[in-house]
């Protein structure tokens, strides 16, 4: 498994769980150090499930320890006025989702993790992951259409 | 916004500030430990396809000879095995052939480990193929096995000794000559006498001596590699 490649994904995941880039970076590094100490598993799917599970638990510990800090509101990507409106609309639509739904969307469509990895990390069946991600995506599309 | 555009936009919506300590963290990380089995499998992957092709070619030709001319299959296969050993010797001297020994000695997995892993994997595959040929061919498994293994190990032994003294391309050419000579030795003479029951004890004695000498030659080779890494 390429740690460099997975670092960004775990960091992004932690960032959205903790709402604090500094805490997310600490947790990401702690996750990889624990993975190395445990004896790295070369099976990528298993390693990813392990990394996400540990990162998730560490984020939960962090959440219990301190108050979350909000992420910066500005979106970094440039674009036209229409794009900006779309992005604002999407951000608002994402805000209406539950924490678990946002987590699923982030893992599946942003980090582009395989369904079996997500299922293993979140303790769901593969079918449930398929069904729920499709439903959430449809919900977002409907919400954006309404706007 | 269609489904694809939505998926692309999600990436932007979940954008986060770039990680600041990533480079420093990755630089400070120790290299991940690798299990023996994984290392062996990794190194097997580096063996050139041509070496596998020669090994498989020897097996197929031996099998074909055994089916087409059962009376001559034994000595034909015995005369083919030196070429499988030549392929193994060529693989073993690959670093020297390309002048990469020093670089490999300094790498994370040293020359000794990679040499032993590759030769171990190749030797195991050759042993399995020769055992399969011995099992398929008539005349008893151990007897046929001795006929196949003796020229194979003799070529291996002579090639190792030659490559220890003559380096680079020249060493490999000498190995080619050795393989041809051993193959000729296995094919020459009266086959009924050479591969007959009366000669078998001599084959066994030769196999035992050659196997012991080959083992000693491998030990020497490994010792030289250890000395090289210290010098």
Whether A3 and A63 map to the same domain: the answer is yes
Nearest to A106 among B3, B14, B19 (CB): B14
In a domain, A10, yes or no: yes
**What's the ipTM?**
0.73
Is position B12 within any domain? Answer: no
Q: How far apart are CA A106 and CA B144, in angstroms?
A: 63
Q: Is residue B11 part of a domain?
A: no
Same domain, A62 and A86: no
Same domain, A113 and A95: yes
Number of structural domains found in chain B: 1
Instruction: For B74-132, write each residue's pLDDT tens digit.
Output: 888 889 999 999 999 888 888 777 777 777 777 777 778 888 899 999 999 999 988 88
Question: Are the beta carbons of B15 and A94 separated by less than 8 Å?
Answer: no
Question: For residues A120 and A49, is the Cβ–Cβ distance under 8 A?
Answer: yes
Closest CA to B37 of B99, B120, B115: B120
Spatial distance between the Cα atoms of B136 and B139, rounded to a whole number of angstroms: 10
Cβ-contact B39, B110 below 8 angstroms: no
CA distance, residue B12 to nearest chain A CA (Å): 7
Indicate the residue among A72, A95, A128 that finishes a domain.
A72
3-state DSSP helix/strand/coil % of chain B, to nearest 5: 80, 0, 20
Yes or no, beta carbons of A86 and B25 under 8 Å apart: no
Q: Is the dihedral of CA B84, B88, B93, B94 positive or negative?
A: positive
Contact B223, B104 (CB under 8 A): no
Which residues in chain B have their CB less than 8 angstroms from residue A77's CB? 12, 15
Please give the structure tokens belonging to residue A61.
Answer: 């510990």
Interface list for A 72-111 with B (CB within 8 A): 72, 75-77, 86-87, 90-91, 94, 105-106, 109-110
Partner residue facing A94 (CB), from B7, B13, B26: B13
Residue of chain B nearest A33, judged by CA positions: B29
Q: How many CB atoms lie within 10 A of CB B52?
A: 15
Reported as a single tens digit per residue, the pLDDT across B10-68 is: 888 888 888 888 899 988 887 767 778 888 888 899 899 999 999 999 899 988 888 88
Q: pLDDT tens digit string along A89-101?
A: 778 888 888 888 9
User: Is some CB atom of chain B closer than 8 A to the CB atom of A21?
Assistant: yes
DSSP of A12-66: HHHHHHHS-HHHHHHHHHHHHHHHHHT---S-HHHHHHHHHHHHHHHHHHHHHHS
Q: Is A40 inside any structural domain?
A: yes
A-B CB pairs within 8 A amount to: 81
């Amino acid at each position: 498994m390429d740690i460099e490649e997975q670092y960004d994904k775990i960091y992004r995941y932690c960032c959205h769980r903790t709402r604090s880039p500094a805490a997310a970076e600490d947790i990401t590094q702690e996750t990889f150090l624990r993975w190395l100490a445990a004896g790295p598993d070369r099976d990528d799917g298993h390693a990813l499930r392990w990394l996400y599970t540990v990162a998730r638990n560490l984020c939960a510990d962090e959440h219990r320890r301190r108050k979350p800090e909000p992420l910066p509101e500005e979106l970094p990507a440039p674009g036209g006025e229409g794009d900006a409106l779309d992005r604002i609309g999407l951000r608002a639509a994402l805000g209406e989702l539950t924490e678990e739904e946002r987590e699923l969307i982030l893992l599946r469509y942003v980090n582009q993790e395989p369904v079996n990895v997500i299922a293993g990390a979140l303790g769901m069946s593969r079918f449930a992951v398929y069904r729920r991600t499709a439903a959430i995506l449809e919900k977002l599309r409907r919400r954006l259409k309404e706007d | 916004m269609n489904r694809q555009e939505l998926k692309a936009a999600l990436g932007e919506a979940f954008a986060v500030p770039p990680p600041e300590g990533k480079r420093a963290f990755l630089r400070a990380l120790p290299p991940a430990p690798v299990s023996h089995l994984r290392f062996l499998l990794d190194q097997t992957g580096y063996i050139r396809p041509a070496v596998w092709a020669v090994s498989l070619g020897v097996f197929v030709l031996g099998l074909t000879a055994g089916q087409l001319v059962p009376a001559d299959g034994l000595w034909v296969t015995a005369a083919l095995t030196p070429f499988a050993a030549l392929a193994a010797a060529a693989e073993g001297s690959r670093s020297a052939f390309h002048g990469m020994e020093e670089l490999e000695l300094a790498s994370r997995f040293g020359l000794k480990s990679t040499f032993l892993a590759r030769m171990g994997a190749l030797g195991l595959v050759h042993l399995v193929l020769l055992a399969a040929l011995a099992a398929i061919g008539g005349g008893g498994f151990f007897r046929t096995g001795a006929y196949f293994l003796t020229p194979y190990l003799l070529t291996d032994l002579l090639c190792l000794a030659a490559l220890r003294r003559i380096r680079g391309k020249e060493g490999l050419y000498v190995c080619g000559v050795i393989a041809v000579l051993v193959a000729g030795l296995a094919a020459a003479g009266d086959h009924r006498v050479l591969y007959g029951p009366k000669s078998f004890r001599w084959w066994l004695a030769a196999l035992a001596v050659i196997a012991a000498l080959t083992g000693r030659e491998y030990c020497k080779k490994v010792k030289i590699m250890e000395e090289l890494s210290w010098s």
